[in-house]
Amino acid sequence: MMRPPPEILARDADDPLGHARERFHLPAGLIYLDGNSLGPAPLAVFSELQHAVAGEWAGDLIASWNKAGWFALPQTLGARLAPLIGAGGDEVVVCDTVSINLFKCLHAALALRPNRHAVVAEQAGFPTDLYIASGVGRTRPDLAMRLQGRDGDTLEDLIDGDTAVVLVNQVDYRSGALRDMAALTARAHAAGALILWDLCHSAGVMPITLDACGADFAVGCSYKYLNGGPGAPGFLYVARAHHDGLRQPLSGWWSHADPFAFSPDYVAAPGIAAMLTGTQPILSMRALVAALDAFDGIDMAAVRQKSMALTDLFIALVEERCPDSGLALAAPRDAAGRGSQVSFRHDQGYAVMQALIARGVVGDFRAPDILRFGFAPLYIGFADVWNAVEVLRDVLDSGAWRDPAYARRSGVT
Ligand SMILES: *Cc1c(COP(=O)(O)O)cnc(C)c1O
């Protein structure tokens, strides 16, 4: 492979975040552009898990619920995560999955707007969000779903005096389009509605300002840009203003005011703990403790700046080096309106991505025709971008993707 030109190497040499790459295990020879699906393993996780298994589980056994703080992990991890999303330490818990947290937050929001009958959401959003919203709808026959892309062109058009809650992704998983959190939150509030932000594709890769925007609820994922590992727990945020009387239907014992009283009567815990349900996967939580340490001392404004530069460079190089290749940009061209991923359409996108992966450039494919590349500024550099585009150019120019092996679909794309 050609060596990146000096101006590209100079950008890596000048990168104030360049040192953060050493915090991750990145397999040799791989350019990993899929941190938006599963982040790589932070090195600190290995010793953290060794300690949690050998010392706490094997050694101290049940005493670890107290001694090692296992029981409080949803709150302590939530407080640790809070600065990354612009929240107070008492407004976030780490627990369950995004899907389950959406269910709880939607119900909690609807309970705060009992006389309203509509949920506004995006038809093209990540399907689980819609599936959960329609599941919530099945328990409440008076509830209507209004979808951008089906019932109106914009979310703003669909928000009115009957809207209870707006469910919206900050960054779209397919196109990478970035919403204006402050503006849309203000628009929902002007109509008396609440807003629930899904941060799955933004947490860990840009400054997020939930409190400053006046957001009501948020959910997010910790196995993408937060690098918590496969199946790592989700998180949820509820603004302090809504903590009094917070109610959700998965009111298991971890949400009880006094779980170890084992009372037959349910009394919700005060504050954010009312959003908990039951026992959490402690080993996964512990991996996340160490994964979040990789953000120590990291300036999220610098992360965003580098993210915009990496994605700008990728788009410019692909368009310059792969003209007439059947690729069409499917992401916003303006970096300010884009998350940390870039998508291109190609009518043989699946095979092209498989050929890239076989050559060590790992992105992913989203039906029907989207090649998706995520750029995590903590461990991706400018030379990686340049090299990835060289491999893409070679795969397209040579027609290497036509190998029938690349057309066979795996279960996970
Ligand atoms: C990744 C992702 C999810 C994942 O949901 P799980 O319940 O954790 O499987 C949900 N929503 C969005 C927008 C996502 O990107």
pLDDT (tens digit, 9 = 90+) per residue, 319-360?
A: 999 999 999 999 999 999 999 999 999 999 999 999 999 999
In ligand 1, the atom with minimum distance to the C-alpha of 173 is: 15
Q: What is the pTM of this model?
A: 0.97
Give the pLDDT of residue 169: 98
Say whether 366 is catalytic. no
Mutate to test the pocket of ligand 1, among 129, 130, 173, 200 (most ligand atoms within 8 A of CB): 200
> Which one is catalytic: 173, 223, 237, 344?
223
Cα 245 to the center of its chain, rounded Å: 28
Residue located nearest, by CA, to atom 4 of ligand 1:
98
Map out the domains of the chain with their CATH numbers. Answer: 6-41+299-407 (3.90.1150.10), 47-293 (3.40.640.10)
- 223 is an active site residue: yes
Q: H or E element: which one contains 382?
A: helix 382-398
Residue 256: what pLDDT? 98
Q: Of these residues, 11, 23, 174, 224, which one is catalytic?
A: 224
Dist. CA 179–CA 148, nearest whole Å: 14
Choosing from 96, 129, 172, 198, the catalytic residue is 198
Q: Could you tell which of 126, 205, 226, 280 is best to mutate to test the pocket of ligand 1, judged by most ligand atoms within 8 Å of the CB?
A: 126
Residue nearest to atom 10 of ligand 1 (CA): 98
Atom of ligand 1 nearest to the CA of 37: 1
- The values of phi and psi at residue 253, to 5°, are -65, -25
Burial class (CB in 10 A: 0-12, 13-18, 19+), 375: buried
According to DSSP, the β-strands at 31-32 and 361-362 are parallel
Residues of the chain falling short of pLDDT 70: 1
Ligand 1 binding pocket, CB closer than 6 Å: 97-99, 126, 128-129, 169, 173, 198, 200-201, 221, 234
Atom 2 (ligand 1): residue with closest C-alpha? 200
Residue 224 designated active-site: yes
Which has the closest alpha carbon to 256: 243, 101, 264?
264
Atom 1, ligand 1: residue with shortest CA distance:
200
The β-bridge relationship of strands 328-329 and 217-220 is unpaired
Contacts of 412 by beta carbon, 8 Å cutoff, 6+ apart: none
What is the pLDDT at residue 1?
Answer: 62
Q: Whose CA is nearest to atom 14 of ligand 1?
A: 200
> Which pLDDT score is estimated for 317?
98
